[in-house]
Structure 1
């Protein structure tokens, strides 16, 4: 199941409660991001795992917080696999595919 996260507090709760989780920064207006979102959601549903995302236009402060906290330049779309509270993997744009996610 894919769950939308809007607030910094929700994101921090994910970091504290999950050793490993997938997260996507998604732009509501970008066709490339739309494609990445579809790949991400299909992967999450096929693997029957929980995944999380934010809509950049609606959660700009959270998007900026993630970039600043982890020192990773903001891109959209941008996918992460968080492991033990930090990014263990990240990809952007056309590199966000079911195949790439499945290899993690």
Structure 2
């Protein structure tokens, strides 16, 4: 899986714009949480570029970039969780799941809609 690092506030406006063409995924990861590591590993093992090649995926280390994580919660009007996956489409968060609710097949189905 090819992640795009998310580490600046200015990237959030770019993500909003990108999402007007194709959906964008943001994965918020805590480097201090074993559940977050497990969910990340599971997502990366299952991600298939042939199924989701049209989707740009961003990775946020929320421990290192807490300000960006806080801005995501505010800007997209979602409660902060970790780990957390969001789908941004047409400039809005249209899907978010956290912890064991993060499932590749469900994410894939949402991205096909």
2:74 is aligned to 68
Provide the rounded CA distance (Å) in 2 between the counterparts of 1:26 and 1:82: 17
Root mean square deviation, CA, Å = 1.6
1:30 corresponds to 2:36 = no
SS in 2 for 1:74: coil
Residues in 1 aligned to 2:101 and 2:73: alpha-carbon distance in whole angstroms: 19
Render the CA deviation track for 1:59-91: whole Å, top value 9, x for unaligned. 100000011122211100010011100111000
TM-score, structure 1 length as denominator?
A: 0.88
- Taking the aligned partners of 1:30 and 1:73, their CA distance within structure 2 comes to 18
1:45 to partner: Cα distance: 4.2
Aligned to 2:14: 13
Contiguous gaps of at least 5 residues in structure 2: none
CA pair 11-43 structure 1, distance change in 2 beyond 3 A: farther
Task: Verify the 8 A CA contact 1:43 1:102 in the aligned structure 2.
Answer: no
TM-score (norm 2): 0.82
Cα drift, residue 50 of structure 1: 2.6
**Is the CA contact 2:26–2:58 (under 8 Å) kept in the aligned structure 1?**
yes
Structure-1 residue corresponding to 2:43? 40
Q: For the structure 1 residues 102 and 29, does the alpha-carbon distance in structure 2 shift closer, same or farther, using more than 3 Å as the test?
A: same
Gaps of 5+ in 1: none
